[in-house]
Amino acid sequence: MLVSRQLAESERLRVGDVVQLAPDKNGSEPRSFRIAGIYEPTPDPSRLGDAALEVRLHLPDLLSLTRDPLTPEGTEHVESINIALMDPSDARQFARDVAARMPGVMARPSADAGGNAERFVILERFHQAIAAVTITAATVFLLALTIMLVEERRETVGVLRLIGVPVRRVFMQVLVEGVVIAGFGWLFGLGLALASEGLINRFFQWRYDTALVFARITPGVAATCLMIAVPLGVVATSAASWALLRRGSLRLARR
């Protein structure tokens, strides 16, 4: 049999060890099995926190071990049959064919079998809600900062206006600066996120003793951040500048 890594570590088992398995907690009618290998269980998000203390046997061995004495050999039942198709894209059609030919049997593609997927959809919405609040707070602070930074240039802008530089030219310059700052900010934020991704995954994988990946910065995520950060930076800078440029030149240049 194979044992999970977690079970091997918990019971200090090694390949080659002979152990006894019994079908009930009293240990009655045990059978001996040799550990042929140690495997890493497929991470299951719906079982987060559960210690993966499990073993894998040949099916006949498992059926033989757990068969009710009154059940004739060959009439046992299994919960499911996993099928690997030559062409995975045939999964839905195959499932329909099986269901049609064997009434009472439920066949479905693996992609649709995520019975617990809804829980993670909800969690995703929760995370998005947190992100929305964080972005809102960041935007508010960003506006405050850009107002202060633009205010610092009040005299300079006033003098430029007095000597005849058009509003549009000044505004465009500020806009370009806003794009550059937002772009660099996005890059820095992305770097910070990538570094955090590693830390978060390492921490939670250690904490839950799992190979699950908890955080992943995909190109899509990076692109979404860019599409939020740069326009926000530009809008904040523009809003602050517009408020400033509306004032008269003399008022701006006056100390």
Partner 1 sequence: MNALAYAWRSLVRQPARAVLGVLGVAAVGALLFDMLLLSEGLVLSMRDLLDRTGYDIRVTAGDPGRDAGPLIDEAAAVAAAVSAQPSVRSAITVRLADARLAGASSAVRPRRAFLQGIGGEGGRPWTRRRGRDPMGTLEVVLNDEGVRALGVEIGSEVTVSVSSCSGNEEAPPPVTFRVVGVVTFPFDSPDDITAGLTAAGLADACGTDDHGVAHAVMVASRGDAARAAADISTLRPDLRVLTTDEALGAFQEQGFSYFRQISTVLTTVTVSFALLLIAVLLTVSVNQRLGEIAALRALGFSRRRVVADVLCESALTVGIGGGLSLPLGALLAVWLDSILKRMPEIPTELHFFVYHSDALLVHVSLLAATALLAALYPMATVARLPIAATLRNEVVS
| Closest separation in Å from C-beta 143 to partner 1 | 5
Q: Which residues contact 245 (CB under 8 A, 6 or more apart)?
A: 157, 161, 167, 170, 171
Q: Provide CB contacts within 8 A for 27, sequence distance 6+.
A: 20
By CB under 8 A, residue 49 contacts partner 1: yes
Token couple for 118: 């809804």
Nearer of residues 98 and 212 to partner 1, judged by Cβ: 212
Give the residue, chosen from 36, 48, 162, 250, that forms a contact with partner 1 under the rule CB under 8 A.
48
133 in contact with partner 1 (CB under 8 A): yes
Q: Does 129 bind partner 1 (CB under 8 A)?
A: yes
Taking CB under 8 A as the rule, does residue 126 contact partner 1?
yes
* Interface residue with partner 1, options 34, 92, 108, 119 (CB under 8 A): 119
Contact between residue 243 and residue 156 where contact means Cβ atoms under 8 Å apart: no
Contact 24, 33 (CB under 8 A): no
Give dist(CA 27, CA 29) in Å, integer: 7
Residue among 91, 138, 175, 222 that touches partner 1 (CB under 8 A): 138
Considering only 80-88, 89-97, 138-146, 217-225, which stretch makes contact with partner 1 by CB under 8 A? Answer: 138-146
Facing residues of 56 across strands?
A: 2
Of positions 17, 29, 40, 50, contacts partner 1 by CB under 8 A: 50
168-227 binders of partner 1 (CB under 8 A):
200, 204, 207-208
Contact with partner 1 (CB under 8 A): which of 102, 140, 172, 223?
A: 140
Q: Find tokens 């006033």 and name the residue.
A: 158
What's the longest Cα–Cα distance across the chain? 102
Among 12, 18, 20, 25, binds partner 1 (CB under 8 A): 25
- E strands of the chain, at which residues? 2-4, 18-21, 31-34, 37-39, 55-56
Which of 21, 193 has the CB closer to partner 1? 193
CA distance 7 to 9: 5
Nearest-angstrom CA–CA distance, 239 and 142: 11
Q: Determine if 125 is a binding residue for partner 1 (CB under 8 A).
A: yes
Give contact residues for partner 1 (rule: CB under 8 A). Answer: 25, 48-50, 116, 118-119, 122-123, 125-126, 129-130, 133-134, 136-138, 140-141, 143-145, 147-149, 151-152, 200, 204, 207-208, 243
